[in-house]
Amino acid sequence: MTSQEQRYVHFVSSIDNLNDAWRILQLIKESGDSPLVGPAFMFALIEYAKPYKHSKDDVMCSHRLDSQRVPVEHMDLHAKIIDFRDT
């Protein structure tokens, strides 16, 4: 696979991760008092953070989304989620 193809695959995977995080958060919103809300919320945060962390392919090329695309008004929350994911 070419470098451009690898970047495309990472981009598409990133979209899937962000959409999964959104879907999980929507399900949490609808679920109320389920005992799975806590673990599901943590999983949603992990799914959100995945595209912004380094992802290495089989030839060790590093891919990640640039945080510059995060709106300024959400940058603090974005940083907190990334920090949470790292702990």
Could you tell me how far CA 74 lies from the centroid of its own chain?
14
The answer to whether residue 64 scores a pLDDT higher than 70 is: yes
Q: What is the largest CA-CA distance in the chain?
A: 47
pLDDT tens digits along 4-41? 888 898 899 999 999 999 999 999 999 878 899 999 99
From CA 79, how far away is CA 48, in angstroms rounded? 11
Q: Which residues contact 28 (CB under 8 A, 6 or more apart)?
A: 37, 40, 41, 44
pLDDT greater than 80 at residue 84: yes
Instruction: Give domain limits for the chain.
Output: 3-86
What is the average pLDDT score of the chain? 87
Give the model's pLDDT for residue 41.
Answer: 94
